[in-house]
């Protein structure tokens, strides 16, 4: 699949999500290239959302450019919908996220939202999660400790060098994990001291997957 074919599928999924947004509501907005198409679609429909809660500095910049007001989550009592992409998704709607490094704020907004729609192109749909390395955001002083703990369970953590999250933390991309039970692994890894956020979104999965394909959009 060429980049432009993938982009066409991402755009299809993003545009399909537009119809799911309650008119005039506050929308939770994720991060990444698929979400960029969503923001473009929102910009083409002024007033479709009243405001947004943003999951990253990068998304805030795009929302600002689209003249969509950005609210602090602390000031929003009712968030009917969150829309975001993913790096990998299973048919159980469990996700791996954090390829763009925004996983912590993404997980907070997903938890706050009544409904979570995930928009992906079909290459992200997998029978089993784990072929995409699992991003884990960690407190910098705990990076080596957590890496050793992960190595001890047979995984291969790789420090995303030169990258600092919006929260000032590091990312470990964890290769070679077998994920037979995503909610259990999410809990287990979240308990390691120094872990901020695990990029598994299984305890709060997506409610709906919109999958862009050559033919159209598949819903799961
Ligand atoms: C960012 C994410 C993104 O949703 C994920 O990386 C997918 O990005 P893209 O839409 O560019 O493929 O989790 O932290």
Q: Which of 14, 85, 125 to mutate to test the pocket of ligand 1 (most atoms within 8 A of CB)?
A: 85
Mean pLDDT of the chain: 97
- pLDDT tens digit string along 143-175? 999 999 999 999 999 999 999 999 999 999 999
Q: Residue 1 has what pLDDT?
A: 65
106 a catalytic residue: yes
Which one is catalytic: 15, 40, 106, 122?
106
Q: Which tokens go with 68?
A: 């969509």
Fold observed for domain 134-198: Alpha-Beta Plaits (3.30.70)
What tens digit of pLDDT does each residue of 100-141 get? 999 999 999 999 999 999 999 999 999 999 999 999 999 999
If you search the block for the tokens 């995303």, which residue do you land on? 160
Separation of CA 188 and ligand 1 centre (Å): 23
Test site for ligand 1: of 11, 29, 35, 86, most ligand atoms within 8 A of the Cβ: 86
Which pLDDT belongs to residue 2? 73
Please tell me the residue having the least CA distance from ligand 1 atom 5. Answer: 86
Can you give the pTM of this predicted structure? 0.96
Render pLDDT for 59-80 as a digit per residue (tens, 0 to 9).
999 999 999 999 999 999 999 9
Q: Where are the domains of the chain?
A: 3-126+204-219, 134-198
Closest atom, ligand 1, to C-alpha of 32:
11
Q: How far is CA 85 from CA 49, 71, 120, 141, 145, in A?
A: 19, 20, 6, 30, 30
What are the pLDDT digits (tens) for 81-104? 999 999 999 999 999 999 999 999
Residues with CB under 6 A from ligand 1: 30-34, 84-87, 97-103, 106
- Specify the CATH number for 3-126+204-219; select among 3.30.470.10, 3.40.30.10, 3.40.50.1360, 3.40.50.1260: 3.40.50.1360
């Amino acid at each position: 699949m060429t980049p432009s074919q993938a982009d066409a599928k991402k755009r299809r999924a993003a545009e399909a999500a537009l119809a799911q947004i309650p008119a005039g509501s506050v929308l939770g907005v994720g991060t990444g290239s698929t979400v960029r198409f969503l923001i473009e679609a929102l910009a083409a429909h002024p007033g479709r959302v009243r405001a947004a809660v943003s999951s990253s500095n990068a998304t805030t910049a795009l929302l600002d450019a689209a003249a969509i007001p950005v609210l602090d989550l602390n000031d929003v009592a009712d968030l009917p919908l969150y829309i975001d992409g993913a790096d990998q998704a299973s048919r159980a709607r469990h996700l791996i996220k954090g390829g763009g490094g925004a996983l912590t704020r993404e997980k907070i907004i997903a938890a706050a939202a009544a409904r979570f729609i995930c928009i992906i192109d079909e290459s992200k749909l997998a029978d089993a999660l784990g072929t995409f390395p699992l991003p884990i955001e960690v407190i910098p002083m705990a990076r080596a400790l957590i890496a050793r703990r992960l190595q001890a369970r047979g995984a291969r953590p790789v420090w995303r060098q030169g990258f600092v999250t919006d929260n000032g933390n590091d990312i470990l991309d964890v290769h070679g994990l077998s994920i037979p039970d995503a909610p259990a692994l999410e809990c287990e890894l979240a308990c390691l001291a120094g872990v901020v956020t695990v990029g598994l979104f299984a305890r709060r999965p997506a409610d709906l997957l919109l999958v862009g394909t050559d033919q159209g959009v598949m819903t799961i």
